[in-house]
Amino acid sequence: MAFEFRWVLFIGLLAASLVCIVLAVAIVSINSIAWFVALIFALIFDVLAMASRYYTYLFEPIRKMHKGKLVLDSNDPYIMAPSGNAIMKRDGELIYATVFVKIPIYRSGTEMQDPEKVEFAVMFGKMLSIIKEPFRISTQLYVLNKDEYLDKIRNKLNEAQDKYNQMVEKSGRVGGKETSPEIEHMRGEVTMWKNMFASVGRAKSHSMISYAVVSAAGGTEEEAVNLAIAKGDELAAGIGSTFGIVATIATGDEILQFIEPDHMIPVANLNEQISIRSGERQV
């Protein structure tokens, strides 16, 4: 398609240049200024024609503009299955469904001794022979959204702090001792939530996740999804038995972590980066 558009653009620009030359010849004896302008336009079209053979990609955004918006693809790249555990894409008469199997393995090869590396390699080889169908294994680093988690910790901290203040105030009114076991326990709980809030706030917002991807084709959406889920269940069972873990099929928002950039880089990371850079400027 890009090749055809390149030549159509090239021939069109040459034709425009030829029209300007013919126009310049026709009016050379009538208006010298118009003749000169027509030759200038002919030269410009010639330069654009030569450039279009090598820089057609610069014209692609203009060609795909629709009502002021750049349309990269008029069709959806994928649609979510009604069950929420697969994505689908139509290609001609067939529908392809894809499922994602989460693999909760977080150990790195740098943390293993040589015998452990050999054992892991053997287990990995067994995993590759679980099913005959082709599947893909990936590991990716993504950004955690800490805002919601920090809000929960902050609420727990505020509740514990209020309860502690009420206990201290009540103990003072009745002439009790501030160092009673109940007050000391609540003080320890307040300290625990404070430490947790500070620890989570300092921690990096990155996490790693491993997953396997398997697809299936069918004549209908239901057929394709059922076949893909069957393959995913078989793959999850084999991975779980091989590594002694619980591998499950991703659903809903979990799938979006693998395919949507907005879920890979949440707003929490932006807030964190802004805070860090603001602190650096203040220092």
Which tokens sit at 15? 């034709």
The secondary structure element, H or E, covering residue 88 is: strand 87-91
Is a pLDDT exceeding 60 seen at residue 101?
Answer: yes
For the segment 65-92, what is each residue's pLDDT rounded down to a tens digit?
A: 555 554 445 555 678 888 888 888 888 7
Q: What is the pLDDT of the chain when averaged over all its residues?
A: 76
Sequence-ordered alpha helix ranges (H) in 203-266? 221-243, 253-259, 261-264
For the segment 16-28, what is each residue's pLDDT rounded down to a tens digit?
A: 888 888 888 888 7
Indicate the domain borders of the chain. 2-70, 79-145+205-282, 158-197
The secondary structure element, H or E, covering residue 95 is: strand 94-103
Which tokens sit at 145? 């959204």
Is a pLDDT exceeding 50 seen at residue 31?
Answer: yes
Place of tokens 């805070």: 275
What pLDDT does 75 receive? 57
Q: Provide the pLDDT confidence category of residue 226 given band limits of 50, 70 and 90.
A: very high
For the segment 239-253, what is each residue's pLDDT rounded down to a tens digit?
A: 888 888 888 898 887
Between 229 and 141, the more confident residue is: 229
Angle separating helix axes 114-128 and 221-243, nearest 10 degrees: 150
Question: Residues 250, 69: contact at Cβ < 8 Å?
Answer: no
Helix, strand, coil shares of the chain, percent, nearest 5, are 60, 15, 25
Candidate from 17-31, 98-112, 157-171 with smallest mean pLDDT: 98-112
Sequence-ordered alpha helix ranges (H) in 174-220? 181-202
Is a pLDDT exceeding 80 seen at residue 4?
Answer: no
Question: Residues 56, 2: contact at Cβ < 8 Å?
Answer: yes
Q: Provide the pLDDT confidence category of residue 166 given band limits of 50, 70 and 90.
A: confident
Q: State if pTM tops 0.85.
A: no
How far is the C-alpha of 277 from the C-alpha of 185, rounded, in Å? 38
